Structure 1
């Protein structure tokens, strides 16, 4: 692969250069401007100087050729330079910083509560995606990669940190909690990557990000990746990166040639029917909505009309969000209705349609939503539903995004609607919401339970011990099994009781609620 890169200084350095003192607030520490165009001929990851175990892990994962952003940044990152990368989501940034960091960590050993490297990301979903990509690669080098995000057990994360973590992937809020509680010490975190820095700025995380960076070694290496480099991101670069090498492989406006953009004009009265027909299409679809309440309401309406849809937003627990994403990735749920929490944190293959049910707040959000489709060379369609009062707003936004969108008036059942989106009539048969029961807790001892009392845990079956899958253990008055005889194992169907009566099985508290998507 021969790639033309726009970079300030993409030559490799055999040894890490000496770093000048960092000026935390001055103007001398400015990033180099894009000043040269260099042709770099790289065809394989081996040419980038990665260790053999990493190369083997990449081959096993089916990753054979580096992307342009990886070709551009990995040599400078391996040489110890601070790197400033501008690239759109889906361009391969995770491996760009991940492979470089893992290579530099190779051979070292982590200390308790002192991670050696940190990847800071804005959302839980993005943290999980980064971890999914980097954990198998870290294992190939014998390195420990762990996640610290909100919505998951704090103590479990603290235990992992206490055992030693080589690469920590974290969100600013949860990492700040660990620092305050003394479960994480960043004084020896020499390698830091900031991913989606512009979104962290948009979400108001910059004060926390600055506090975190102030706790890391002043001479540590910083790799910052962002789709845009203005405003707060630019100030962060000036304050915390030392003589960074800038690489830009994508403009800040839309440039994906395999992505089609459409604006569908509808009436208020027919908007829901149009959305439902689009949801009934074949293929994987993401629908973006502004608020959590509207996400839940739209997902429910789609299911009522026969569309297998699930809701994703920040109001759900992390476990629920993980299950929703897993069902979406596996194809069990072809339609995902989400707030902008999914605009940058979801990396799922073969999303063929992105639907803006509510227009994006600005051109940046539009581009990040759109970036869920047409990834890694695949094709995709981006559609914005517009009512008459939204037309001017959307036109201005797409112009700023560098998008030329085809505008079409549509109604439910239109041939043009089907041509553009693949819309079709839904079945009309309501889709039951998938419910997952929490695992039962260990029961207590039964008493007075007839003969052979191993029949404790009866679920919804006949009688003994545990009656009902939701409400917790009520003693039953009769049945073929004994009470809850013995601790530890819970026989599935009560296979021990031959005596009559069943008695007063007294299990401990069981599952009280069921989780849904």
Structure 2
């Protein structure tokens, strides 16, 4: 693959991980964490040469989202194949039968989301007694999504003498609980934190009237290059993607109301360039790798600074430069100032009077193009849509909507996962970005 030099997180962790020690690594998304654990995982399994029994994998990688699980397998599978090892992904939102067949055929390495994996363990399709190496990727995002209880139950099923590696963009108290309980004298390495790319990003706040948000977004997204636009809610993401497509910007969306097949097709369209803009909830802010994103737009400012940093991290990757733009209305001035201050970024704030404003050409240079929108995927039928308790943050009209209680607020006590159906049907529940919408006024 023509990779000859390790990234900082790889150079820091590989000596310990290859030696079989437990490792605690902090590095931002895009810092090379996937190879940091994939290389030692494959090398050590190949060295032990134990035979894998049906339904009893030898290595386990836990990831918070199905997109990240798929991405990890994409990087890990060529290495595993070269070593004569087989991989299997496990996550909700799709039928479990192919996953069960993969386990029975003797998958050596399982890359799984916690909810579906626990379901298959409960059904007797997967056993973790032979696990030699366990990896937790994006552990802090796992905590944010409420997965820590199920993660702890899964880790408790793995042998205590096995090697365990935990990688995270941030190391906080929630992660400390896992470290103390499951890692044995881990070697801690920190490189490329979420703030490491701040120097290569330019941060801008555009102060706009509500009715100008859509025209300004159309202008920014019609510039050359890939753009990622973030909203707080899945309903807002769908509405904005529809509006951009109607305006002629080829756009796809990524949120919890889409089936797994639709999410995969939309990401493929964005990777291939058929879609130039991705409108997403925060599910895409963590662990999703997209090359050459020139511009990140916070159409809805996130509710806390960690989300701002991880969203913004979709650009300025691997030493490249990038531009981050936050749209701010009159009602959001205090919120956005507090947000950028907590994130530790220096921003340039500009009052924008409309899509013809010269500042938009400076932030997103190049000739504007509106080749035509793409047909949007319909929401998955496996996740029945309920009428939201609040209007989307970005309504098509651009006018402020009456604000109510965030959707899904009554489900805090339930286990949340990746699939579309209720947990007792064998699938996990999708993460909703509606939790970010309560402060968007």
Class of the TM-score when normalised by the shorter of the 2 chains: 0.7 to 0.9
Say which is worse superposed, 193-202 or 387-396, in terms of deviation: 387-396
C-alpha separation between the residues in 1 aligned to 2:314 and 2:146? 23
Asked if residue 110 in structure 1 is aligned to residue 110 in structure 2, the reply is no
Residue 432 of structure 1: how far off its partner (Å)? 4.8
2:364 maps to 421
**Aligned positions, number:** 375
- 2-structure distance, mates of 1:412, 1:353: 16
Aligned to 1:184, what secondary structure does the other structure show?
coil
Q: What is the correspondence of 1:460-499 to structure 2 with a 5 Å cutoff? A: none
Larger radius of gyration: 1
Residue 248 (structure 2) pairs with residue 248 (structure 1)? no
> Is the counterpart of residue 130 in structure 1 residue 72 in structure 2?
yes
Task: Pick one of 262, 272, 297 that aligns with 1:355.
Answer: 297
- Listed as ranges, the gaps of 5+ residues in structure 2 are 379-441
- Per the TM alignment, residue 400 of structure 1 is displaced from its structure 2 partner at its CA by 1.6
Offset at residue 425 of structure 1 (A): 5.2
**Superposed, which structure 2 residues align to 1:25-424 within 5 Å?**
61-106=1-46, 107-251=49-193, 253-410=195-352, 411-422=354-365
Structural RMSD (CA): 1.6
Q: Which runs of 4+ in 1 moved over 2 A?
A: 250-257, 421-427, 429-432
Deviations, residues 201-252 of structure 1 (Å, cap 9, x unaligned): 0000000000000100011111001111112111111111111100011345
CA distance in 2, matches of 1:402, 1:417: 24
- Going from structure 1 to structure 2, the CA distance change for 1:435 and 1:299 (only over 3 Å counts) comes to closer
- How far apart in 2 are the matches of 1:432 and 1:229? 40
Q: How far does residue 390 in structure 1 lie from its aligned partner after superposition?
A: 1.0
Query: What is the TM-score normalised by the length of structure 1?
Result: 0.70
Name the CA distance, whole Å, in 1 between partners of 2:351 and 2:253.
28
Q: Is this contact kept in 2: 1:254–1:402, CA < 8 A?
A: no
| Equivalent residues of 1:124, 1:171 under 8 A apart | yes
Q: Name the CA distance, whole Å, in 2 between partners of 1:194 and 1:385.
A: 34
State the SS of the aligned residue for 2:161.
coil
Cα distance, 1:89–1:345 mapped onto 2, change above 3 Å: closer
What are structure 1's unaligned runs of at least 5 residues? 1-60, 437-517
Q: CA deviation at 1:372?
A: 1.0
1:64-91 CA-partner distances (Å, limit 9, x unpaired): 2111111110110111111000111110
Between structures 1 and 2, the one with greater helix share = 2
Maintained 8 Å contact 1:354/1:372: yes
CA distance in 2, matches of 1:104, 1:432: 45
TM score, norm. by length of structure 2: 0.82
SS at match of 1:262: strand
CA displacement at 1:379 relative to structure 2: 1.6
SS in 2 for 1:131: helix
Q: 2:29 touches 2:194 (CA, 8 Å); kept in 1? A: no
* In structure 1, C-alpha distance between the alignment counterparts of 2:100 and 2:3, rounded to whole Å: 33
**C-alpha displacement of 1:161:** 0.3
Distance 2:374 2:36 in 1: 42
Question: What SS does the aligned partner of 1:269 have?
Answer: helix
- Counterpart in the other structure of 2:423: none
The 2-side partners of 1:316 and 1:145 are apart by: 25
